[in-house]
Structure 1
Amino acid sequence: MTESGESFAKLIGEEAWAEIDDAWVEAVAARPGEVTRHAGVLQQLVAAGRERQAAELFEVLDEQLVEAALWEPRLALLREAGRLASGDRPSFEAFAEKVGLFRAPDVVPRTWEKVERLLALLAFDVGTVVEMQGRGVGRIVEVNLALESLRIDLERQPGLVVGFRAASRLLRTLPAGHFLRRKLETPEELQELAAADPPALLGLLLAGSERPLTAGEIKEALAGLVDEKRWTSWWASARKHPQVITGGGGRQTYHWAASSAAALSALRAEFEAAAPRERLDLLRRHASRDEAFTRGMAAGIAAHATAEREHDPALAFESWFALERAGVLQPDLGWTIDDLIGAPADPRRLLAGLEDRILRERALAMIRERRADWVEIYRDALAKEADPRVLGFLTEALRSVAPAERERFLEELLNQPRRNPAAFVWFVEQAAEEAELRARNPLRLLQQLLASLRDGAFTPFRSRLAAMIESGGTLPRLLSALSEEQAAQALALLERDHALADYQRAPLLNALTLRFPALREGAESGLLYVTPEALAARREELQRLTQVEIPANRKAIEEARAHGDLRENFEYKAARERHEYLNARVAALHRDLGRARPLDPATIDASEVRIGTRVTLRDREGNERRLTILGPWDSRPEEGIVSYESDLAKRLLGGTVGSVVPVGESELTIIGIVPYR
């Protein structure tokens, strides 16, 4: 057998793949240094669709070159392989020059470090289609070797620049035929498929995915292909295909089986290996897939529930209703639901094991119907319940029948919230809507709410508690339920509590002092007099900050955080600095607006110089000038409007027509006083 290129071409044409392997071993052993000829054979194999075989033969040649210490031919092999991999695009030479691949080839370790870097760069050549998590798909349109960066036109962000070092971490190359690449290059074909055959389009997406996808990820991937208005009906049709398999866990996922039979076989294996409650989930999701498969699942679930009924009544209860919901509950189980709930059974064990909120409420309703001691059972359930809806269900049931039990529970929450943090948070949230709860002991509730913000036991509920401090929440509404005496104590609490940020504290203090004006006594010197226009401008600024800029800043922080490595994340640091500035500005506006008093020109007494008057002054030479005295928000000295806090205004205040006011080495005489407008 000769190892000439013509002989290999003949073998490839005859598809004699095994003979090619033998001929290759002989050829590279005899002439390992003829890299160009060997690379030509590999290229023919790739063109014939034998990429895997070409890769294996490449490794055989590379091993032969290493064994013979032929480093120069080995680098030449790499050059040829690079051209092959890059489709003879000019970027290979540019990238190779950039990494210095062919400089100092005798330094072998450094050379192969350059090789690794070159291969990483070749993956991101001009024209390569890439995906960036969270930003969609796009195409590399420019490689800037001087700046070591790529410019990418993404669907959602054209012109995005990514550095070479970050490219491998942020970008994923998409091969030809990949669904997302087809969506970019030939969207019309996929749109036609979406309309004609929904399961086929879904199968195309799932079959090409490296992992199961959630419904949200599927919807995002199909955006632009499926009309948003038709999504619900389209999705219902597409996911019913027998080859679509749903997966459980924290979020339901979907993947594609090779055939309907393969899907059913995979589901049977999954059911056999599943834990008892996972089997219930499989029954719920696949009860309508295949009648025989459903009967088999039902038999297995019923048998296990019967065997474990005494040990795990909650599982038996869940199994009963899962079978009933699927329409496969058999009448000959040998036990009924009453055996789990009615006397002499203790339903407390059942309630403790029911994690599903709806089933827990259903069990509680059945307990009330079937047991005379349901009040005691409800009382015990309250002490352990964490779900706000179930807590509402329990307390509402006790309100009319056993009000004393409800009162005792609410009083314990108010006095010892750490015993049941989840229930206390529910109490706080309910108090925002129910005046009766706020009136029980408003100062005590305010104290406990502020304390919970600092207490580690309430960490899982921090966001819910924070919402209760904002406008419309429980804490602002509590202020109107306070007595005069309690208001003074509340003021002291709010002023010194470290759990509140300044921007949260300021509106609360303002609301409290507006409700109880006596709290302002002794602080009138702190009032801020402003024109109605300046007051409106500050209120508009506050509204813009709280409703537009702060939400936008929060979004910017989350987007910057998603880029990772916060230590070197300029966008994140800038967004955090902006966050601190905005919060400080909002707090200052709240504080100033709380002491602002608008000026009314119609009520200003011009018998003497006051805040809100325009004064005409004459100096010794007879020159006249006019000054308007307003607040710091309206001060514009260049226009003759000065703040009443300025030294000049303080000298003029209280003066009357004819008064002489010393100003430096000169004197000014007041010759006229009128309201500022």
Structure 2
Amino acid sequence: MSEELENSVREMLKEETWTRAGISNFTKNNLMELAELLEKAHNQNCEYEIKDICDQQLAHTKDSIVALYISGMVSLHSGSIDTSALVTLTEIFEKNHKEALVEYLCQTILDEDSQNKFALRKLAEYYKETNDDKVWELYEKIVKLDFEEADIAKILAERYESQGNMEAAVSYYKKALLRYVAAKNLGAMKEMWSKLVNLIPEEIDFFMLVQRKIAKTISEDKSALLMQELYSYYKNTAKWDTAIGILKLILEIDNKDAWARKEIIECFRGKYSDRVHLDEYIVSSNLNQSYRNVFEAISDFEKHIAFDAKNYVFHRTWGVGIITKVEGDMLTINFGKKNGVHPMSLKMAVNALQPLSRDHIWVLKATKKREDLAKKVKQEIAWTLKTIIKSFDNNCDEKRIKAELVPAILTPGEWTSWHSKAQKILSSDPLFGVNPNDINLYTVRDHEISREERLANEFKAEKQFFSRIDIMMRYLNEIEDPSDEQFTDMFSYFTGYLKAFSNVNEQIVASFLVVQEIIKRVPSLESPAKFTFAELYSDIDNPREMYTLLKDSKNTSLKAAFIANVRLLSDWDDQYINLFPTVLDKKLLSELIAAGKNEKVIRLVQTSFADYRNYRNAAVYFFAECRNEPWFKEAGIADDKQLVTLVNIISLCFREVNNHVNTVENKKTIKAAVSLLFANKTENGVKNTMLDFMLSSDKTTITHMYTMVNDVRELDSVYKAQLRNGILGQYPDFKFQEAEIKQDAPKGLLVTAKMLEIKRALAEDLEKVQLPKVAEEVSDARAKGDLKENAEYTSAKEAQHRLTVQLTKLKEELSRAVVFDPTTVTTSTVSFGTAVTLDNHISGKEEILTILGPWESNADQGIISYLSPLGNNLLNLKAGEHAEFTINDHKYDYTVKAITAARM
């Protein structure tokens, strides 16, 4: 700090003009002069030295304007939450009626911190006093930043309502209501409830949410009284189901409520006004008698009314039926032509039958023509979803939806495309939601709900921790103003993990990272954590394991956030080295190299190849991604050492798979290492790295490397054959052991790529063309009458059976089909894909046979299957070998003259 600047500050502090005694002469220019001084201090990087001088002054003179301004602004600039100096300065200006200075100071504070609640509120007070319209913009900012602010939310709501902007008005009335509930302000809560009942009575889900909060935080009785007001709307509009639901809720709170009991009878009379036996059922259920338990009476009444005439029912054996007559306690039910008419007592009906609404999916399937219903289902997907979901108490999962449609209405093929469209509707249509208690169950709503409410419901219904994080981040990404109570409830769920815990687990770490990200995006929120990431990290027993336990989705990046925090640790380089074998991200290596940590990276490379058992994935990653890096070359890992390490890793992983150790992870490692060695994809095509190395080496190295690969028994024989063929191409006289050249038995049905396509096309034709066509013929023939004398029907059924058997067999073969790679043909022995020239010693003639699969076999063209008795006897013979054998009493005597690759 320059001596001139320090003296300037000390001089200002001494002068009377800059003290409270001279406040009458203090102007905006004086504050601007102080701001210029702070700018100089900032440029000279001595703000804190000046602040120390001012703090010393304040210890003796608490009302020094210069000291208060400089100390307060430096604290604000540093991000400190202590703004007491600026608060005191503002109070001095207010007491001395310097409103213009208050405004200027608040604006200055907001220029530095746009979300400073003190400055926003103080400036809003000033604009309110001066009738400045700028106050409304400040009010909106305050409501967004302060989740407890209810009064200003109410003021904004009233303003928007007076302007006719009802959407904004409702939004702010909702905020005010929920905040008054949280504050337990009963009078204001009742006022806001009544206002919203008047404006949006149809939003039953919102009112039910508020009712639950009131019942939980204030009292159930208070929530019941509020619900009475909402009930009046549904009764007056004859929305009986919702009205009855509200009354049942009130009765659950107080089953002795005489008013609710009387009202529910009136609602039943309204809902079932067309039922002949309505009064009789009300009397018989004792619904109007206070001595009877109200819920037992309601249940009794609903059972009886459900079995009134013209209602539909379902029986496990007879299916859907319609009640045609009710006489006393006897019902007459028509179950259709197949199952006939059945009389049944009411008591038996209650136990044996399930009442169905007229629009229940089972009723529709029983009363509508299949083709008509199928057409409607395909064209009106939203209607179909609503119908099925409502059919099952407005709670239905996708498994049930499919069961109702396939195969009764849709074919499996039609379901696939239908289901894809249905999922989009279920996730986007505001009339669909999820059950708050089960994320897998869908519900249908009577009115649209906001995206905020939908996501909040999903959050509540979701029980999986990491899935809840995904929903929270979707909320942040999709909602423009995440300042409502649903958002704060979600945020509180994660902060709850940080308030008290005994052991650090993945939920604690994930919560810390989530809260950290949310606070970045919504700075008005605060974390309850009294610890830093460094302190949290020090308590993690195994950071590698912790990294794997953090689950990411398309909306979350917990792993990246974890690594970003690790980068801020004092020993970040050692932690990066420790984490890399699990993280396997080149960015970690790049940062280490950029920071001059080359030696640590080189040592990690050397360790990975030396201790491949514990660093297997790191070794595979280095081989795949880093071989051309200068620091990798400095590690001095020879090419043969790299290849041998990968083969050893493959062998090790196969052994662990056989012992059921980390099966999934080991299979991934095997796949990656095998691909790098034998099928490495490059810009110039697929490269066999192992073969290239072997062919550039001497025969001793070839023998060693090939033997090592061949000893991995579980390795696909295709890769071994590639090596053999490559070696023989360069060294035709190379000698392999007998066991090495014998072709392994294929695990599936070997086929050529061309024939596979032909068979697939045939299967598709059978399933989608021929079988539907013959099914239609069966249906048409059946419609002609007596099936015993119906030749067309018999013929069509036989054709249908024949095609079904053919398709079943073909699908089974397709499931086992393994496409043969022509590049793996080995001509050292008779095998799949070879043409063998034979001397037939019995006929004295030469024969040429091609060995392929059963799909390709054609005796007229000399193509035989490797699975046929003849093909099986020829397999693995070498040129010059003689073979005699008998098949079905027919003798064969051959000498192999030559073996060549077949044309495929």
**TM-score, normalising length from structure 1?**
0.47
Return the index of the structure with the highest Cα Rg.
2
Identify which of structures 1 and 2 has the higher relative contact order when contacts are C-alpha pairs closer than 8 Å and 6+ apart.
1
TM-score (norm 2): 0.37
